[in-house]
Amino acid sequence: MKKLLLWRFSMPIVICMALACTEEQNFGQFDDLSVTPTVASSIFYLESTEEVINLTPTAIFYAHTFNFDPFSEQYVADHLLEGVLLFEIENTTSKQLSLSIEFLDENDDVLDVEVFTVDPEPTMLVTRSVAYGPGGKSLDILRNTSGLRVTAENLGDTVSVSTAEDPKIILGSAAEFRFRLQ
Amino acid sequence: MKLRSQFFLITLFSLGLVHAQNKQLLYDFYEIPQSLILNPGVKTSEKWHTGIPVISGLSFQAGSSGVSVNDLFANDGIDFTTKVRERLIQGMSRKDDFSTTSQIEIFNVGFRGKNRPDDYYSFGMYGETDIIVYWPRDLAILAFEGNGGANIGRSFDLGDLSFRGEMVNVLHFGINRKLGNSLTVGARAKLYSSIFQFKSTSNKGSFTTRLGQDNIYETSIDVDMELQTAGANEFIDIAEEDTSNTKSDMIDLFRKRALLGGNLGLGFDAGFTYNLNPQTTITGSILDVGFIYNAKDVRNFTVNGSVTNEGLTVFLPEDITELDNDLWQDLVDEVEAAVPYGENDSGYISLRPVKLYGSFRYDYGEMETTFTEDCGCAISVTEKTNRNMYRNSVGAQLFMMKRPRGIQAALSGFYQRRLGGTLALKTTYTVDKYSLTNIGLGLNLQAGPINFYIMGDNLLAYRNVADSNYASLQFGFNIISWNDN
């Protein structure tokens, strides 16, 4: 009787341990894992009052070249799949204005340029999306960009004043990049 | 298709997906000396016992509160990225954890006091590894999906990162005392010798990208995070040296740390067994109420601060004289200054994971006892009674354990069958947040002075180990005497 019970109770453990089995697994699937997050961030923001534009004796009331390395960081350059640069321009001044953003390489050579010409107020918010990667501009433009030159030019007069409250020109920009982490 | 050859690979992988320290099969299985480790106040009948060194008590538990190996790696033709997204990234919550617990008994000795036969003394040493990592849900989503697209406006909780782990060697000495026929109490003092410890359990903060007030997006980070480590650096340094002595240096350091050469701590266990009537018993125990003071080989990492930015910003006329060409580097420096990263070697206290057991047992089915006056049962012998007089026991057990994010609990029902003094069997059905179908079996065999036990948990899952959320195995050998042999 004892032997029978011993058999009945202990054998399931032993059998389970000895004959434990599993359905077929394919650990090689891990190589197929695709991790491609989209990273979003603002890039550059310029805001100027109409008073500054009127007081500047030359047509170009803002021009600045500065280093901008995040696109050319090795990790970004190696893992960038595609990206979109977003621009928003709002002009509530009384002048037609031109804004340009030049993408410069290490030698300050121009890789690409985005130019915006905006009419005096009243005008709609100007937006533009520029795609890079498949179906868009070359990713090499971003990968080789190490500086930006931002230029703002007054195409109108220097005396008129907008009727809008607190008239300004505003340039906003952001990036949404998709990376391959795995 | 069944592939037994992959069993060990699955098991190894599963060990990274482990949970629970619940030993419901061993608890109150008083025929086995190791039950003293789970309840210092358990009923003791033996005169003395000694575990066979290193193989007297081995326990490994494996499981997962979230996905199983099969969920991800089954050869089912489903795109792997889809499985990861649906079952791991979206399917698991921040309450799910991955943890591992293993215990290896180095030695374990017990004996009944000559002058105080009501006392049963025990001492020994065991090594324990305990690691728990909560699923960092928001951080996983951030890594998998990013902060852009549909996640604009979403606040990622940096507090989702929570983990702790340690390897510790425990020297212990316990006293088990019978206070009459109804009550047995016990306590155990513990000296912890830490081999390594790490924890990062009080993290707070958020990372958010939303529509900006000025620019298109505004990114804010508010973070208060810390990782504390003790004992890990010397191992890492030896590994990085990668010389011909690396292996022996590792072993030497391990041995030194295990034998009181590292960070030390103190703790205690306490427990009781109380007979409400001859057939009804309640038990309870609290384990590992203790701490380790980590002062040696400490290295802590901190990130603390908050910052919000909308990219490079130029406001005219305020910035009209700002002609710096390094605007980007200035922004990076500003962020690093606002959210500084730091390292220090300040000592810290780590608390042991406290565990609590309780049980209710009803015995029935009288049997002829084989115990005599030589059984070492002290009070029971004196009064010519023996509590090993029932063939069957049924009851319920409760297990609770303090974890970084609260109490982890399990409820078990059990049936135990004794066949004379040689064989005892126990089966349990356990419910916890990890499994609703956990059936376990335990066997204790006493062949003369040789005692052998083996216990397996969640046996139904052995049909497909890869699809199991939980599995455990315990076994050991002891030598037990009830007389003067």
Q: What is the DSSP string of B329-389?
A: HHHHHHHHHHS-EEEE---EEEE---EEEEEEEEEEEE------GGG--THHHHTT--S--
Chain A contact probe: residue of B67, B209, B216 with most A CBs at under 10 A: B216
The C-alpha atoms of residue B103 and residue B469 are separated, in whole angstroms, by 20
What are the φ and ψ backbone dihedral angles of B60, each rounded to 5 degrees?
Answer: -135, 135
Is B485 within the bounds of a domain?
no
Q: Residue B81: in which H helix or E strand, if any?
A: helix B80-83
The C-alpha atoms of residue A178 and residue B335 are separated, in whole angstroms, by 23
What's the gap in Å between the CA of B277 and the closest CA on chain A?
A: 29
Q: pLDDT grade, residue A18 (50/70/90)?
A: low
Q: What is the number of domains present in chain B?
A: 1
What are the φ and ψ backbone dihedral angles of B307, each rounded to 5 degrees?
Answer: -160, 150
The C-alpha atoms of residue B278 and residue A172 are separated, in whole angstroms, by 82
Q: 């990049």: which residue's tokens?
A: A177
Is B479 within the bounds of a domain?
no
What are the φ and ψ backbone dihedral angles of B278, each rounded to 5 degrees?
Answer: -55, -20
User: Are the beta carbons of A33 and B445 separated by less than 8 Å?
Assistant: no
Which of A13, A40, A70 has the CB atom closest to B328's CB atom?
Answer: A70
Residue B6 DSSP one-character state: G
The C-alpha atoms of residue B39 and residue B35 are separated, in whole angstroms, by 6
3-state secondary structure of B158: helix
B72 has a chain A CB within 8 A of its CB: yes
Q: pLDDT for A59-80, tens place per residue?
A: 899 999 988 888 878 888 889 9
The C-alpha atoms of residue B57 and residue B38 are separated, in whole angstroms, by 12
Q: pLDDT grade, residue B368 (50/70/90)?
A: low
Res A10: pLDDT = 55
The C-alpha atoms of residue B413 and residue B422 are separated, in whole angstroms, by 24
Q: Which residue of B has its CA nearest to A86?
A: B216
Res A17: pLDDT = 58
Res B465: pLDDT = 67
Is B148 within the bounds of a domain?
yes
> Closest by alpha carbon to B238, among B297, B177, B286?
B297
Which residues of A are less than 8 Å from B315 in CB distance? Answer: 47-48
Rounded to 5°, angle at Cα B117 from B115 and B122: 100
B8 has a chain A CB within 8 A of its CB: no
Q: 């609703």: which residue's tokens?
A: B436
What's the gap in Å between the CA of B420 and the closest CA on chain A?
A: 9
Is B483 within the bounds of a domain?
no
On average, the pLDDT of chain B sits at 85
% chain A with pLDDT above 70: 88
Res B353: pLDDT = 92
B142 has a chain A CB within 8 A of its CB: yes
What's the gap in Å between the CA of A84 and the closest CA on chain B?
A: 11
Half-sphere exposure of B100 (CA within 13 A, CB side): 14
Q: Which residue of B has its CA nearest to A8?
A: B425
A166 has a chain B CB within 8 A of its CB: no
Centroid of chain to Cα B76:
33
CA dihedral B430, B431, B435, B436 (to 10 degrees): 100
Res A128: pLDDT = 94
Which residues of A are less than 8 Å from B420 in CB distance? Answer: 2
Is B343 within the bounds of a domain?
yes
Strand partners, B412: B397, B430
Both tokens of B414, joined, read 């059990």
Q: pLDDT for B387-437, tens place per residue?
A: 557 899 999 999 999 988 889 899 999 999 988 778 899 999 999 877 888
Both tokens of B135, joined, read 């699923």
Is residue A12 over pLDDT 80?
no
Res B284: pLDDT = 97
Q: pLDDT for A76-99, tens place per residue?
A: 888 999 999 999 999 999 999 999
User: Are the beta carbons of A5 and B417 separated by less than 8 Å?
Assistant: yes
Domain ranges for chain A, please list them: 35-179
What fold does the segment set A35-179 form as a domain?
A: Jelly Rolls (2.60.120)
Which residues of B are less than 8 Å from A174 in CB distance? Answer: 215-217, 311
3-state secondary structure of B116: coil
The C-alpha atoms of residue B426 and residue B382 are separated, in whole angstroms, by 29
Residue A116 · residue A98 · CB < 8 Å: yes
Both tokens of A179, joined, read 């990376």
3 state SS for chain A: CHHHHHHHHHHHHHHHHHHCCCECECHHHHHHCCCCCEEEEEEEEEEEEHHHHHHCCCCEEEEEEEECCHHHCHHHHHHEEEEEEEEEEEECCCCCEEEEEEEECCCCCEEEEEEEEECCCCCCCEEEEEEECCCCECHHHHHCCCEEEEEEEECCCCCCCCCCCCCEEEEEEEEEEEECCC
Q: pLDDT for A98-153, tens place per residue?
A: 999 999 999 999 999 999 999 998 888 899 999 999 989 999 999 999 999 999 99
The C-alpha atoms of residue A67 and residue A104 are separated, in whole angstroms, by 9
Which residues of A are less than 8 Å from B459 in CB distance? Answer: 12-13, 16
Chain A contact probe: residue of B73, B318, B428, B468 with most A CBs at under 10 A: B73
B69 has a chain A CB within 8 A of its CB: yes
The C-alpha atoms of residue B30 and residue B386 are separated, in whole angstroms, by 14
A173 has a chain B CB within 8 A of its CB: yes
Burial class, B67, CB count within 10 angstroms (exposed 0-12 / middle 13-18 / buried 19+): buried
What are the φ and ψ backbone dihedral angles of B477, each rounded to 5 degrees?
Answer: -125, 140
Which of B79, B81, B423 has the CB atom closest to A6's CB atom?
Answer: B423
Q: Residue B248: in which H helix or E strand, if any?
A: helix B246-256
User: Are the beta carbons of A26 and B74 separated by less than 8 Å?
Assistant: yes
Chain A contact probe: residue of B68, B151, B219, B316 with most A CBs at under 10 A: B316
Is residue B227 over pLDDT 50?
yes
Half-sphere exposure of B443 (CA within 13 A, CB side): 17
A165 has a chain B CB within 8 A of its CB: no
Q: pLDDT grade, residue B52 (50/70/90)?
A: confident
B384 has a chain A CB within 8 A of its CB: no
Residue B240 DSSP one-character state: H
Residue B164 · residue B201 · CB < 8 Å: yes
Interface of B with A in 28-57 (CB under 8 A): none
The C-alpha atoms of residue B310 and residue A173 are separated, in whole angstroms, by 10
3-state secondary structure of B467: helix
